[in-house]
Every structure is written in C-alpha cells, then in structure tokens.
Amino acid sequence: KDEIEPKGGVKSFYTVQEERMEQAERSVLISCPSKTNEKKFMKYLSRHGDINKCFFYESYGTYAVVEFAHKESLTSLHQGTAIPSVNHEAAVPFKSRLLSLKNTGSLDQSSGQSAPLCQPQTTVPMNDLILRLSNESSIDQQISSLTEMHQLTEENVCLRYLVCSLLKDIAAAYFPECKVRPFGSSVNGFGKLGCDLDMFLDLDGISGRSLKKLKAGFSLEYQTKRSASERAVTQSILSVIGECVDQFGPGCVGVQKILQARCPLVRFAHQPSGFQCDLTANNRVAMKSTELLYLCGGLDWRVRCLVFGVRCWARSHSITSSIPGAWITNFSLTVMVLFFLQRRTIPILPTLDYLKELAGPLDKCVIDGNDCTFVSDVSKIRLQDNTETLEQLLQEFFEFYGSFAFNRMSINIRKGREQNKSDVSPLHIQNPFDASLNVSKNVNATQLERFVGLCRESAWMLQQREFNAPPANGAAGGTKAPWGLAALLSPSVSQAAGVKS
Amino acid sequence: KDEIEPKGGVKSFYTVQEERMEQAERSVLISCPSKTNEKKFMKYLSRHGDINKCFFYESYGTYAVVEFAHKESLTSLHQGTAIPSVNHEAAVPFKSRLLSLKNTGSLDQSSGQSAPLCQPQTTVPMNDLILRLSNESSIDQQISSLTEMHQLTEENVCLRYLVCSLLKDIAAAYFPECKVRPFGSSVNGFGKLGCDLDMFLDLDGISGRSLKKLKAGFSLEYQTKRSASERAVTQSILSVIGECVDQFGPGCVGVQKILQARCPLVRFAHQPSGFQCDLTANNRVAMKSTELLYLCGGLDWRVRCLVFGVRCWARSHSITSSIPGAWITNFSLTVMVLFFLQRRTIPILPTLDYLKELAGPLDKCVIDGNDCTFVSDVSKIRLQDNTETLEQLLQEFFEFYGSFAFNRMSINIRKGREQNKSDVSPLHIQNPFDASLNVSKNVNATQLERFVGLCRESAWMLQQREFNAPPANGAAGGTKAPWGLAALLSPSVSQAAGVKS
Ligand SMILES: Nc1nc2c(ncn2[C@@H]2O[C@H](COP(=O)(O)OP(=O)(O)OP(=O)(O)O)[C@@H](O)[C@H]2O)c(=O)[nH]1
Ligand SMILES: Nc1nc2c(ncn2[C@@H]2O[C@H](COP(=O)(O)OP(=O)(O)OP(=O)(O)O)[C@@H](O)[C@H]2O)c(=O)[nH]1
Ligand SMILES: [Mg+2]
Ligand SMILES: [Mg+2]
C-alpha cells in the first residue's frame, strides 16, 4: 500500500507546494537528441553545479528535466547558452529555461549509443488496462493497481511544477513578485497521468503591499493604469501574458485568450511537456477547493483509490468527457465520492464543518465574503475506525447513488448530509465554499439518468458470482475474461444498462 | 550665437546618444501636486542619493524629471514606493519609473506655497512668433531668434531620452540586452519643441550573439519561436510590446499597432511627457540618416538656422503638415536645404561621397546591402570659407527652388549635384542610402507647384524694400508691421502667390 499513501505525509498543502515551486525554480527543461548518453550529459551539465535530480521522457522528441542544487547554476548555464542562428528562418530571441542540446561531432554516433531510459508520462490504453486488471486476484487489488497505474508519478508532478515555473518567468517579467501555482487535479492527489494543468497566477505578493503612512509629508506611489474592476485588471494581465505566450513562448501552441469567461483564462498546449494548460488569475477559491481535496485524499488511503476507480469507470462509459458539456465533471464526481464516504455508517471522512471547527487562527480564510476556513494541520483530525474494504465501498457507492433521491435532495459535503434542494437542476452539489452555487449546474436530466442507470447496473454486476471473483477456469497463462473492476470498465456494462454513450 | 551651436561639440552622434541614454537610466519621472515646494521635494528625494539634475514642467499636471548620480538610488527609491490602493477602482500593479508624489498633511497648504518654475515644452503660437520676430533688427537676427525659440531645449531632450528609457524597461522585461534609441528630429539637431518622438528598438545586443563552437561534443541553445522572416519576428515583438504599453503603460493612451506597414510600428501618446510616440524595430537606415543630419547640422551653425527658418515658413503655409499625405515632409525639406547648401558657389556642406571617403575602418556600415558608410569624426572634415549671411542664404534658397528644373532633375546629396530623374514622380529626392528610392515619392504635382509658387513669391518679397528691413516709422513701443522672416510667415504671402492652403 506504500505507493498509494499520499506523498506529502503530514506536510500541509502549501508547504508542499512552496517546496516544489522552489525546486522548479532551480530546474531546466532540455530537448535532447534521441540518443543522448546519460552519463556524458550529466557530466556536461554538472560543470554548472551539483544536480539534484535528472530524468528523461518522450514528448514530440526526447526531453530531460534537470534540477540543480543551487539557483546560481542557472546563471552559469545561461552564460553558456547561445541564441540559435538559423538559416532561412528568423528566431524570437527570448531566453527561457527551455533549452536544446546540440551534439556536434560524429564521435558519438559511431559508438552505438543507446537512448536514455524514459519515464512514462501517459496511462496505458483502456484495453490494456482491462487485461492487466483481469490478472489481479481481488477487486481490492484491482482498484489499488488502477490507482498505481493512473496516479501522477513523481516525475510528472515535477514536470508540472516546472511548466508553471516557466510560465512564471513570463509573468514575472512584469510582476517580479508573482507566483504561478498549479491547482486542480495536478496537485489535489486525484490527478491521472495526462490530465490538464490548471495554473493560477498569484499576484498577492504585489498588490497586498502598502507602506506605513507617515503622519504628514511626502510619499511616493507608482503611477498605474486604472480599471473599473478587478476583473478588468485580470483581463488586461491575462491578455498580455497570452500574447507573450503566443508570440514568444517556445513550444506553446494553440494559444486562446478566453477573457470573457466567468473566470477569464488563457488556454494553450505546451508541446515540450505534452500538457494542455489553463492559466487563470484571481481564482483563490479554486486553490482552496484543491487544498480541501488534497487534505481529504490524505486522510485515508481508500479515498484516492475509490476516486480513481470511480473516475475511471465514469470515463470508460463517457459519463465524464474531456470536452465541456452537460455531463458530470471529474470535480463533481470527486465531491460525490467524498460525500459518499462521509455518509458511511462509520464515516471515513469528516464533514467540512468539522474541519472548520478544528481550524487555527492562521487557517482563517475569507474569499469574496465566503468563509473558506478549514484546518491545515492534519494531525488535529480524529477519524473513526471504519474497516470496510475497497470492494465493499465500490459496491456501496453504486448502490448509494443508484437509489439517491436526486429529485429532492442536494449533496452537501459541508454538513456531510443531504439537504432539500434549493433549485431545479437535476443534479445539485452544493459548492463547499459558496452555499448559493451548484457545482453541477451544467448537468442535464439525461446525463444524470445515464449515471444512475450505470450505477444500478454496476451494483448488480458486482453482486453476480461470475463478475465478482476471478474466473477459476481461465486458460493457464492466457487472458482471463474481464471480471470485477475490469468488467465494470468494459462496454458491456453500459449496453446492459441500456444506456447509449 | 552660442546657443545655436550644436550641443555635442565634436562628440560623435553615438557617443552623445550613449551618454544620454545612460543618464536617462538613472532618472525618474514624478507627477507632483501643482504646488510643490522645490527645496523640500529635493530634500525628500535626496535621501536616496545625490541628484544630478532636476526640473519641472507642465503636461496634464505638473511633472518633475529627476536624474540621480548613481543607479543604486533607484533601487532605494523603489523600496520606498507603494502600489496605490484606490477606492472603487482597480490598478494594474506594474512598477515603472513613472511615480506620483503625494503630499499628506495640511501643513504645506497653509504656508502659501508657490508652484515650482516650469520649463516650457512647447513653442509660442504663430501670431506671437510673428510679433516677436518683427521686433528684431535684422533678418539674420530673426532667423537666429526663431531657431532659439523653436529648437529643443536641454530639458526637452532629457525628457525624450527618459521616455525612451521607460519604454526600454517594458521591452527589457523580455529582452534584457535591448536598447531603445531615439532617432529622427528628436536627436538630429533639427527638432522643434513638440515634434514627435521616433524610437528604435535595438535588439542587436542579443541576436548578434553566438558562442565559439567547440570542435565536438555538447552545446546548449535556447529553444525559440521560429518565424518565416525577420519582418515576422519584428511584428511579433512589436505586437507584444504594443499590448504591454496598452494594458500596463501608465499614461500611455491611444495605442495603435501598425504592424502591416512597410516599417511596422507601435504608435501611442505618452501623456506625462506630452509626446506622440512611434516605436519601430529593425530600422537601422533611419538611425543612419539621423546621424547624417546630426553631422551636417553640426558642421556650420547656419545649417540648423536655415533649416528651422525654412521648416517654419513651410509649416506656416501648410506646405508641410502633421498628418501624412501628398505633401512634402520635414525630412524631405531638410534634405532640400542640405542640397542647396552643397550647391553654393563656395559650398557650405560637403557631399555625402566626400564624407564617405573620409570614413575610417570603424565607420564602415552596410545595411541590407546598401553602403551607409560615412565619417563619424567631424574633425577630419575640411570646409571651404563661405561667408554668406543667413539673409542671403534664405533669399538664395527661394530663388534656387523657385527655378529648379524639378521636371527633369533629381536632388542628390550623395553627389551634391542634380542628376537626370530616373522616374516620373513630380519631386525626386534620392534616398542618400538607397539610390533606388525616392524620399519624396508621396509628393504630387499640386503640392510641388504650391511649394515652387511660394518660393518665388517669398524670393520676390525679400527683394522689396518694405519687407526686407524693419519699418523705420514703427510706432514707438508699439507693434511693428511684420517684415522680413515675420512677413514670410504671414498668410499674405500665400495669398499673394495665389496659392490655396
Ligand atoms: N467551486 C468550483 N470549483 C471548480 C469547478 N470546476 C472546477 N473547479 C475547480 O477548478 C479545479 C480545476 O478544474 P478542472 O480542470 O475542471 O478539474 P480537475 O479537478 O483539475 O480535474 P481534471 O482536470 O478533469 O483532471 C478543480 O479541481 C476545482 O478546484 C466548479 O464548478 N466549482
Ligand atoms: N530614408 C528615409 N528615411 C525617412 C523617411 N521618412 C522618415 N525617415 C527617417 O525617419 C526619421 C523620422 O521620420 P519623421 O518622424 O517623419 O521625421 P522627422 O525627421 O522626425 O521630423 P518631424 O517628426 O516631422 O519633426 C527621419 O528623421 C528620417 O531619418 C523617408 O521617406 N526615407
Ligand atoms: Mg484540471
Ligand atoms: Mg519625427
């Protein structure tokens, strides 16, 4: 179970985030020829200082992430780096920490170089996954195995922080004190390899600043552009950063400025990492809900496993989708799992109100008039002794939502119990930090019905002997018919439930 | 005559420019309450270090330019400067060297403060000018006096370099080695107070860089965005800088990105200085022609005087205009004056070919295949002993162009003599650095005819006794009727010439 334990231990979310951001500041991303001798590469780079970490991966070519022990090494590295001189082409001479390694001289090609070991950055295809899960010996093991295969690797998390740090450099050109923080599934503990990278431009280091006013006499202020609203300022800033990313950002393609959205953002694909990126600003509540999910995922190892199991099941039947629409989002689905775990006879997760009660003075947090306070010190939280297995929990999850009174009741993780619905949306999941909002307002009746139908069908399947244990008579060494979680991921489930995907 | 002597003495154009750019880097621009006590202000600022220079001026409020002796003073100043906290408004927290002085406490208002002495940044209106010139005692003095009144002041030149420096900060956010150089009339010696500020983004410090290639082994390059052409790169860079100026630049209004022009540019008004600004990149030839004009203006004091006289005369009759069109530009008109001065029986100015012969090895300069070489060391230039007065020169100028064979001949300052025209444009002035181009291609036949007609009429007037000397019977202490240059600037000339303006 060691690999599924939350990485951060008892460290708070912000502590982990600050540490990783600092590591990313000392890192560079280097595109390498496919056959690069790792040892020589490390030797070449170590002339700039000690290297803490280095790994390779594939994404439109071979790349290496190199983390130096000291920030000064980057200064040395930059001094030894040239602007490329290209024939028949012109280059924007913007210097970033995205570099290319050139190997001149034929010396290395002759000596039969091998490619460096590359860390996988994507998940296995669904068919392979089903085969692999079928070879496990229990449903509990299937769910654990799925989690291990899907969860973000240490290297992938490093790469996500590095991409944030590269983007921070672009923003810091104008706002030196800014930070770019990852949020959402990249850091909440529920991210799957390949998930998008949500970033938050944090300008609080600047704007919060005000000097002690002297009683009388002169003082100096920066002359600044004024706007009618914070929103307009956010739009201005994202507009410029979007333009910079588009025109200067190496490997940044398909840049879209979506400035009129409720939460204005810049969207682009970062080819060197393979990440689809969303940059927002002024989005503190999302940071806070990321922290809440991170905390919940760290309280009991079964939380993350069940979320990974349910998310994968939902994705395989197109209950969720990578494009926006009237379907349930991963975020809503995660909140539904958390709620289910609060509703166990012996609860596995505490209520948000309980987490708020435990909060210390430093945890106090009010955003736009909404109280978002909850405890950050996990050691204060007392949990009850629930011993249910993952198999039981998965079964119960399907039964719980297969018979939930969606028509009347709202899902509320703050209270940890259902409440009478306040609006007419088919699915109502109260926003944990703003009681007036419904996280799943986008979901229509058809999509909710599909979800409920699939829950019922899946609950039924897990009760059938042919599905809830490995087939005894599987051909020795051959492929077993899908069973357990593997069967739940197979198309037959939605067919049996009579649900069109 | 001292004030009309070129400021730089024998220093080369680039030496002067680098010195002034360095001074601007140590300067700040501060918006002040209209009644600011100068002494207290200086005392308040000098806590950050010694101040080399400080002056006040008016432009949408009172401003001060403060030049510190050492760059470190700016760091200290920035530490003591706050982002404003504004009610009912939001501010883009971009920190520049454009600051606002706040005066808290009622202490100063009670003690009957007076406003600081403000340096004028504009010229007197035409009517006042005519009155003032009429009070001079000779045409020579009129022309000198006009030059003194119209030429850029020391303070105005400082302010121009400072605005370039502020813009450099915006560009340097992404291209730390870049420079922003003023060119055109702001620095060529022929600028009139209120003229536009032409700026050139110089990226040569970056892109020219390439490291010695090792024989074999690894090397590192920055990964950069590629474009099909240098032009496309220039457009990208100006697009981003234009966006930044628009969204972040305090006091920058009316920003237009004119990226499809032959020479892409960003145009905006800089309210704190009152300058209309044009930022171009990749525009080295314009830099070179600025240097040539600067050099010519410095060779003989009469050059600048005659140019100021002719430019003012042309502007007063709408021969030139502040908006682009089919009329003669100030640049063309200046080249025409230079040509005229080369064509004197004893030439006042040498030919460009002669200046090229004198060039040393360091003066060598080829831009886009055009040889732009000419001497930078003024002391090498030998001039002939022409003693004509300004009055004579002005008279001869009008006669020269009143009877020039524009239909057949082209104006060529490289050779210093007219040549057969190579195209059908009414007015042909060969581009000194590209023989295939006509600097005045835009001028149509009507505009040329107006110019010629006015030259003839003006030449005639200067020969009439009632115009070429002060009226003897002017009412004592009263206003004299316009005479000499003053008469030439009056509307009656164009009426007499039968020319509609
Ligand atoms: N309050 C609230 N927060 C949301 C909502 N949608 C997204 N968020 C927040 O924004 C984060 C990023 O959104 P997404 O990228 O859509 O979701 P994600 O959790 O990252 O999951 P995937 O990207 O699908 O892996 C989430 O983790 C939430 O913290 C919503 O409807 N309400
Ligand atoms: N070769 C060439 N250079 C030009 C031309 N027009 C302008 N320039 C250059 O660009 C500089 C700036 O142009 P302008 O702003 O139009 O002219 P200016 O000399 O600054 O004069 P004013 O702005 O009218 O005071 C000029 O000084 C020239 O060096 C042209 O048609 N041909
Ligand atoms: Mg996401
Ligand atoms: Mg100009």
pLDDT digits (tens, 9 = 90+) for A404-435: 999 999 999 999 999 999 888 999 999 999 99
Per-residue pLDDT for A288 more than 90? Answer: yes
Q: What is residue B428's predicted lDDT score, i.e. its pLDDT?
A: 97
pLDDT confidence bin for A207, thresholds 50/70/90: low
- Of A147-156, A480-489, B61-70, B140-149, the one with minimum mean pLDDT is A480-489
Distance between CA atoms of residues A444 and B40, nearest Å: 69
Selection from A91-105, A228-242, B342-356 with the highest mean pLDDT: B342-356
- pLDDT score recorded for residue B492: 74
pLDDT of A494 above 80: no
Ligand lying nearest the CA atom of residue A289: 1
Q: Write out the H or E segment, with its range, that includes residue A58.
A: strand A51-58
Q: Return the closest-CA partner of residue B117 out of B76, B62, B175.
A: B62
B187 and B290 Cβ atoms separated by less than 8 Å:
yes
User: Given an 8 Å threshold on Cβ–Cβ distance, is A101 in contact with B272?
Assistant: no
Distance from CA of B334 to the nearest CA of A (A): 36
Structure tokens at B78: 């920035």
Any idea what DSSP says for residue A192? Answer: B
**A291 CB within 6 A, ligand 1:** no
pLDDT tens-digit profile of B391-425?
A: 999 999 999 999 999 999 999 999 999 999 988 89
Closest residue to atom 21 of ligand 1, CA basis: A185
d(CA A3, CA B346): 94
Q: What is the pTM of this model?
A: 0.90
Q: Radius of gyration (Cα) for chain B, nearest Å? A: 25
Tokens matching residue B242: 């234009």
> What pLDDT, on the 0 to 100 scale, is given for residue B209?
47
- Asked if the Cβ–Cβ distance from A244 to B174 is below 8 Å, we say yes
Least confident span in A110-119, A340-349, B340-349:
A110-119
Model pLDDT, residue B499: 52
Query: Cβ of A240 and B243 within 8 Å?
Result: yes
Nearest to A329 by CA among A404, A441, A234: A441
Among A7-11, A281-285, B407-411, the minimum mean pLDDT is found in A7-11
Q: Which residues pair with residue A32 across a beta bridge?
A: A62
Mutation target vs A (from B36, B101, B221; most A CBs, 10 A cutoff):
B221
Q: Rounding to the nearest 10 degrees, give the CA dihedral for residues B449, B455, B460, B463.
A: -170
Residue partners of B483: CB distance under 8 A and separation at least 6: B134, B466, B467, B468, B469, B470, B471
Task: Give the C-alpha distances (Å, rounded to integers) separating B154 from B41, B167, B482.
Answer: 22, 20, 30
B302: part of which helix (H) or strand (E)? helix B301-316
Contacts of A290 (CB under 8 A, 6+ apart): A13, A183, A184, A187, A188
Q: What is the DSSP track for A251-294? A: TEEEEEEETTSSS-EEEEEETTTTEEEEEEES-HHHHHHHHHHH
Specify the 3-state DSSP secondary structure of A314. helix
For the beta carbon of residue A289, count every other beta carbon within 10 angstroms. Answer: 21
- Report angle CA A445, A447, A448 to the nearest 5 degrees: 65
**Angular region, A463: left φ>0, alpha ψ -120 to 50, beta rest:** alpha
Instruction: Quote the CA–CA distance of B345 and B296 in Å, as a whole number.
Output: 18
A2, A301 Cβ separation under 8 angstroms: no
Q: Which of A122, A183, A279, A331 to mutate to test the pocket of ligand 1 (most atoms within 8 A of CB)?
A: A331
The span from the CA of B451 to the CA of B453, in Å, is 6
Q: Pocket of ligand 2, candidates B152, B293, B323, B331: which has the most ligand atoms within 8 Å of its Cβ, to mutate? A: B331
Distance, CA of B320 to CA of B246 (rounded, Å): 30
pLDDT score at B12: 86
Contact assignment for B83 to A222 by CB distance below 8 Å: yes
Spacing, Cα A98 to ligand 1 middle (Å): 28
Q: Which of A183, A322, A164 is nearest to A263 (CA)?
A: A183
Q: Is the CB of B290 under 6 A from ligand 2?
A: yes
Q: What distance in Å separates the CA atoms of residue A396 and residue A459, rounded to the nearest whole number?
A: 8
Q: What is the four-CA torsion angle of A467, A468, A473, A474, rounded to 10 degrees?
A: 70
Q: Is B198 in the pocket of ligand 2 (CB under 6 A)?
A: yes
Residues present in chain A in total? 501
Contact list, A226 vs chain B (CB under 8 Å): 86, 89-91
Task: List, as one string, the DSSP characters of A134-174.
Answer: HTSSSHHHHHHHHHHHHBPPHHHHHHHHHHHHHHHHHHHTT
What was the pLDDT predicted at B477?
Answer: 59
- What's the confidence (pLDDT) of residue A342? 98
B213 vs B21: CA distance, rounded Å: 34
> In the predicted model, is pLDDT for residue A60 greater than 70?
yes
> What pLDDT, in 10s, does the model give residues B39-96?
999 999 999 999 999 999 998 899 999 999 999 999 999 998 988 877 667 888 899 9
Eight-class DSSP state of B363: G
Whether pLDDT at A400 is above 90: yes
Ligand 1 atom index nearest CA of A440:
31
Per DSSP, B426 falls in state: S
Residues 6+ away with beta carbon under 8 Å from A128: none
Ramachandran region, residue A316 (left: φ > 0; alpha: ψ -120 to 50; beta: rest) = alpha
Segments in chain B below pLDDT 70: 1-10, 87-88, 105-113, 207-216, 473-479, 494, 496-501
**Ion ligand 3, residues whose Cβ is below 5 A away:** A 184-185, 196, 198
pLDDT top residue among A188 and B473: A188
Mean pLDDT of A65-88: 90
* Residues A395/A456, Cβ–Cβ less than 8 Å: no
pLDDT average, residue stretch A326-341: 97
Region of poorest pLDDT, from A150-159, A205-214, A486-495: A205-214
Give the Cα separation of A464 and B470 in Å (integer): 118
Higher pLDDT, A141 or A209: A141
Residue type, B401: Y
Query: How many contacts (CB atoms, under 8 Å) link A and B?
Result: 246
- The upper half-sphere exposure of residue B187, i.e. CA atoms within 13 Å in the direction of its Cβ, equals 30
At A119, the pLDDT band (50, 70, 90 cuts) reads: confident
**Residues recorded for chain B:** 501
Q: How far apart are the first and last CA of chain B?
A: 34
Q: What pLDDT shows up at residue B205?
A: 74
Residue by residue, DSSP assigns B187-228 as TSS--BTT--EEEEEE-HHHHT--PPPPSSEEEEEE---EES
- Nearest CA owner, ligand 1 atom 16: A331
Closest residue by CA, ligand 2 atom 9: B286
CA of B330 to the centre of ligand 2 (A): 7
* Residues of chain A found within 8 Å of residue B99, distances taken between Cβ atoms: 220-223
DSSP per residue, B13-30: HHHHHHHHHHHHHTEEEE
SS3 B257: strand
Q: What is the pLDDT of residue A401?
A: 98
Where does A320-363 have alpha helices with state H? 330-342, 352-357
Measured CA to CA, the distance from residue A147 to residue A2 in angstroms comes to: 12
Find chain B residues with C-beta within 8 A of A225's C-beta: 91-92, 94, 247-250
| Alpha-carbon span B386 to B369, nearest angstrom | 36
Q: What is the pLDDT of residues A248-279, one digit of tens each?
A: 999 999 999 999 999 999 999 999 999 999 99
Range name among A168-182, A217-231, B188-202, B300-314 with the lowest pLDDT average:
A217-231
Enter the tokens of residue B154. Answer: 């020391």
Q: Tell me the nearest-neighbour CA distance from B270 into chain A, angstroms.
A: 13
CA distance A80 to B477: 75
Task: Say if CB B41 and CB B64 are below 8 A apart.
Answer: yes
